[in-house]
A = this chain, B = another copy of it.
Amino acid sequence: MITPQLIKPKSIAVVGASDNLGKPGGKVLYNIKNGNFDGELYAVNPKHERIQGVPTFKSISDLPQTDLAILAIPAKLSLPAVKGLLEEKGTKAVIVLSAGFSEMGPMGRKMEQEMSRLAERHQATLIGPNCIGVMNPYHQSVFISPVPEMEWGGAALVSSSGATSVFILESALSKGLAFSSIFSVGNGGHTCVDDVLEYLNDTYEHGRSPQSILIYIESIRKPQLLLRSARELVAKGCRIAAVKSGISDAGGRAAASHTGAMLNSDMAVDALFRKAGIIRCNSRSELTAMGALFQHPRLKGKRIAIITHAGGPGVMLTDLLSTGGMEVPRLSDELMQGLREELFEGASTANPIDILATGTAEQLERCITFCEGLDTIDGMVVIFGSPGLFSNIDVYRVIREQQNICRKPVYTILPSILNAKEEMDQFVQAGGVLFDDEYLLGNALLSESRYVAPVTEMEGVRLKNAEKISELLKGRKGLVDIRTGFELLDLMEVKRPMHLMTSSETEAMDAARKIGFPLVMKVVGPLHKSDVGGVVLDVTTPDAVRTHFSRLIGIKDATGVELCQMERGLELFVGVKKEPCFGHLITCGLGGIFVEILNDIQYALAPVGMSEALQMIRSLKSYKLLQGARGKEGISEEVLADVICKVSGLLTLVPEIEEMDLNPLIGHGRHLSAVDVVIRMGGAQ
């Protein structure tokens, strides 16, 4: 919960204030005092009368009522301070800058938890500990520099690491990004990144709230809250990008299903971000590049005109965009004739439009105006550096003017970080947002062009036999036996081949007669049947049934032999794995080498509806095979999507399912049959 006192306090007290600007308690007081805050500002320090000219109190108990308190005192003094503030001073927001809490061990964790409990009890917000603070248009309660002017309409930055948010800020400001608020939540024991997102969503006002949000997050505490808040913000028009770090420890754990072994918690993050409409970035530079993109009008297509005064960067950007799936469409001579006459001889208007090293500000302006009017162009990139002969002031002024006039985005690459440094600084001061490298912009454009808006449906299908299914799986723990599995498939109306279990040669011969040839024989018992040679395909004679039975029943852990109708066609799979807190991940793909050698899988967080299921299927590398390639019949994507939706429906009904494999699903055309099913319920067997 974020209280109004954190956002717009009437009074702020800095506890542990100092005259030394090299200390957090000195710097934070300085920043507040010299920032936008216009309420009552107090300092607390037992040794001074007045600090930085601010009324100073010997202790917290001496303070008048205080809305927001900032603690810059050692960890062990923080807990009593928080207690005093909340209980005696009516404080509703506390920012604890100090480190030395849960990151230091059990002692610190205890103190941190106690502070959280106090905040909870008093319905106050606790930010930190171990953070740099909060800034917004009302106050700059941070102990760091730089302290940029906070602008309504600028981006919000929410970070779980203090130092990282400083570095992000430095990278962002040098690109000209504007911010409206910065929340550094530190350890986030009480207020985590997810809570801030909820707040931004709950208080969202069109035209005033941030139109873009940049997130650095180390651990997602409340995935479902993040999901809901981000989805709603995105639906309101907000653009969100995030770095989730700490992926390399996303190791595999023991799993009972193939799916369980394939999916890890980092994939759950991926799936969550996709479903929420958050663009995932891998680094500070990617995040701030995405932020810079967000401060332009939204690109409404994939067709880019590049206007440059230097060939090289234009060609490199064209390479990157074209190979990444965007377009730098050739502009015909006829179309461009009018423009051509206004440029110097030798200029190229084919796109990239190269106005030559000697190109002028006026020519650039004409090019931008011209492209703004072209139906075949969705956005422009201007590249303009300097070999150091003359100033670029006029050129950069024209770019700013045109950015304000054009409906299409005009992205700016200014590569001359030394030769045109002053002009670039002025461009930024005039409100411009720039990239100094074409690669960074190009990759950001590609990321946004690949972005798929989250589907609005949040519900999976409702299963027809819901009650019977619940009854069937009720109270089960651990692995579910294959008979129950097949019964479940029948109730879910997922097709499966005719099959019979046998435990003697005679039974096997009888079963073969009933099913008919060709058939499949599988050992029952061992988990990974293929690995122990426990599956025989295409058994075509009674003699073969006899021979294989005697071999299969001899395999370690064998309890019987199953005979099935032989399905023919493509092998697919659909699987489920439950990720703690995140919920169920549903995965699908082609079986065999595709999953085992090429790891060609797609996954999404449940619930998954028809359109999301189709998105998954169409994103498979092997999608062409599903469509029918190389003269072979494919499989209807709707039929596969239907199975995914039914599995999603099952998970809504029976959330206790921990893992599930429908593997293989075999079929062709609109026929798709689950040949095997593995289900593991929560709890030990």
Chain A interface residues toward B at CB < 8 A: 21-24, 27, 99-100, 103-105, 132, 143-146, 161-164, 166-167, 170-171, 173-174, 216, 218, 243, 245-248, 282-286, 309-313, 315-316, 318-323, 328, 345-346, 356-357, 385-390, 415-419, 436-440, 530-531, 533, 592-593, 596-598, 621-622, 624-625, 629-631
Contact = CB atoms under 8 A, between A and B. Distances in A.
A268 to B, nearest CB: 16
A439 B286 contact: yes
A112 to B, nearest CB: 13
Contacts of A284: 313, 316, 415, 437-439
Given A533-B631, A597-B629, A164 B216 contact: no
Contacts of A436: 171
Sorted nearest first, the 4 A-B pairs with minimum C-beta distance are A164-B312, A145-B388, A163-B310, A283-B439
Nearest to A309: B163
5 contacts: A22-B389, A162-B310, A246-B319, A284-B316, A284-B438
Contacts of A283: 316, 320, 437-439
A310 B621 contact: no
A247 B313 contact: no
Contacts of A24: 389
Q: Which of A310, A319, A321, A356 has the most C-beta atoms of chain B within 10 angstroms of its own C-beta?
A: A319
A174 B247 CA distance: 31
A328 B389 CA distance: 46
A372 B109 CA distance: 34
A417 B163 contact: no
A385 to B, nearest CB: 5
Given A318-B248, A357-B99, A631-B530, A313 B419 contact: no
A613 to B, nearest CB: 21
Given A27-B389, A248-B319, A103 B346 contact: yes
A346 to B, nearest CB: 4
A312 B356 contact: no
Contact of A143 (B166, B216, B387): B387
Given A316-B283, A419-B146, A439-B286, A162 B346 contact: no
Given A439-B286, A530-B631, A415 B171 contact: yes
A167 B346 contact: no
Chain A interface secondary structure, helix, strand, loop or mixed?
loop
A372 B437 CA distance: 35
A320 B285 CA distance: 13
Nearest to A316: B245
Given A170-B417, A621-B597, A285 B132 contact: no
A328 to B, nearest CB: 8
Given A145-B419, A170-B415, A170-B419, 12 more contacts: A21-B389, A22-B389, A143-B387, A163-B357, A164-B311, A164-B313, A167-B385, A174-B418, A247-B319, A282-B439, A284-B438, A285-B439
Nearest to A622: B597
B171 A245 contact: no
Contacts of A416: 166-167, 170
Contacts of A312: 161, 163-164, 167, 216, 218, 245
A598 B145 CA distance: 50
Nearest to A283: B439
Contacts of A309: 163
Contact of A621 (B418, B439, B598): B598
A311 B173 CA distance: 21
Given A323-B248, A437-B283, A631-B533, A415 B311 contact: no
Contact of A310 (B27, B143, B167): B167
Contacts of A321: 248
A27 to B, nearest CB: 6
Contacts of A593: 622, 625, 629-630
A173 B316 CA distance: 21
A367 B386 CA distance: 42
Contacts of A145: 387-388, 418-419
Q: Which of A162, A170, A416, A596 has the most C-beta atoms of chain B within 10 angstroms of its own C-beta?
A: A170
A247 B530 contact: no
A132 B389 CA distance: 12
A132 B357 CA distance: 11
Contacts of A313: 163-164, 167, 284
A247 to B, nearest CB: 5
